[in-house]
Amino acid sequence: MSKPVTFDLTGKIAIVTGASRGIGAEIAKLLATHGAHVIVSSRKQADCQAVVDGIVVEGGSAEAIACHIGEMEQIESLYAQVEGKHGRLDILVNNAATNPYFGHITDTDPSVFQKTVDVNIRGYFYMSSHGAKLMAKNGGGSIVNVASVNGVVPGFQQGIYSITKAAVISMTKAFAVECAEQGVRCNALLPGLTDTKFASVLVNTPAILKQALAHVPMRRVAQPSEMAGAALYLASDAASYTTGAILNVDGGYLSV
């Protein structure tokens, strides 16, 4: 019998990390528009609450829980609160990441290396492993990892960041394979250059922007809202047979 295609998230509990602004905020808003109760998370409670307030004004359902994903005890605390209050998790969007160093790869300071790995690899990994276990208790769910085109083509002078994003792509496939039997899907979204605070130096420096756009067939940067539809698709039952997929949302950058 044919399975109906649905983007409806009514009754689903979703966590979106790094949801206080940029791509994460747009994903949180779209998931809420489609019926999910969204846990809006980042390091700053007040900034998360502002996003929650916007969702609620629009008739959606959301709550703010601060969590620094580079801190293991904060991940534990987030999951204790989600499991205690909701008893389930259906969707996890791993979106919060850090890129603290621009410079030659051979000059990467060990403290910068460690911070980037702790947030972008260990953070995604333990958010996913806790999330997958909680999802499995109720028959499964969907993990969406926001990686980057730099996980495929390293960003110039963004070596350690790019390496961690390559690890997220590998992590996506590893979780997809090992968690499929528990009903947990895991997919990655690879944004190209997107107009957020994260990329503000690149987007707001005309010479750098011109150089970057020369490699983008669509010749423009993305708006953060242009990442949200792909996340909704991967999170929803419309993608019920999709796991381990790597979805480029990059204006054609990786196709050249």
Ligand X SMILES: NC(=O)c1ccc[n+]([C@@H]2O[C@H](COP(=O)([O-])OP(=O)(O)OC[C@H]3O[C@@H](n4cnc5c(N)ncnc54)[C@H](OP(=O)(O)O)[C@@H]3O)[C@@H](O)[C@H]2O)c1
Catalytic residue positions? 161
Residue of minimal Cβ distance to ligand X: 22
**Range in contact with ligand X (rule: CB under 6 A) among 31-39, 78-86, 190-198, 205-213:** 190-198
Q: What is the smallest separation between the CB atom of 43 and ligand X, expressed in angstroms?
A: 3
Measured from the CB atom, the residue of 78 and 176 that comes closer to ligand X is 78
Taking phi over 0 as left and psi of -120 to 50 as alpha, with beta for the rest, 244 belongs to left
Q: Does 98 bind ligand X (CB under 6 A)?
A: yes
Q: What are the distances in angstroms from CA 125 to CA 13, 128, 174?
A: 20, 5, 10
Q: What 3-state DSSP class applies to 206?
A: helix
Residue closer to ligand X, measured from CB, 108 or 182: 108
Q: Least distance (Å) from ligand X to the CB of residue 252? A: 15
Rounded to whole angstroms, the maximal C-alpha distance in the chain is 58
130 lines the binding site for ligand X (CB under 6 A):
no
CB of 196 to ligand X, least distance (A): 3
Place of tokens 């083509």: 153
Name which of residues 25 to 84 contact ligand X (CB under 6 A). 42-44, 47, 68-70
Q: Indicate the burial class of 201 (C-beta count within 10 angstroms; 0-12, 13-18, 19 or more).
A: exposed
How far is CA 185 from each of CA 52, 59, 245, rounded to the nearest angstrom?
Answer: 26, 28, 10
Q: Do 39 and 118 form a contact (C-beta atoms < 8 A)?
A: no
Q: Which stretch binds ligand X (CB under 6 A): 135-143, 169-177, 194-202, 235-243?
A: 194-202
Q: How many CB atoms lie within 10 A of CB 89?
A: 27
Applying CB under 6 A, the site for ligand X has a residue count of 30
The answer to the question of residue 128 lying near ligand X (CB under 6 A) is: no
User: Taking CB under 6 A as the rule, does residue 146 contact ligand X?
Assistant: yes
Query: 22-33 and 45-57 are packed helices; what angle lies between their axes, rounded to 10 degrees?
Result: 30
116 contributes a contact to ligand X by CB under 6 A: no
The binder of ligand X chosen from 17, 162, 243, 248 (CB under 6 A): 17
- Tell me the CA distances in angstroms from 254 to 178, 207, 218, one per residue in order: 28, 21, 12
Nearer to ligand X, 102 or 138 (CB): 102
Q: Which residues bind ligand X (CB under 6 A)?
A: 17-24, 42-44, 47, 68-70, 95-98, 119, 146, 148, 191, 193-194, 196-199, 224
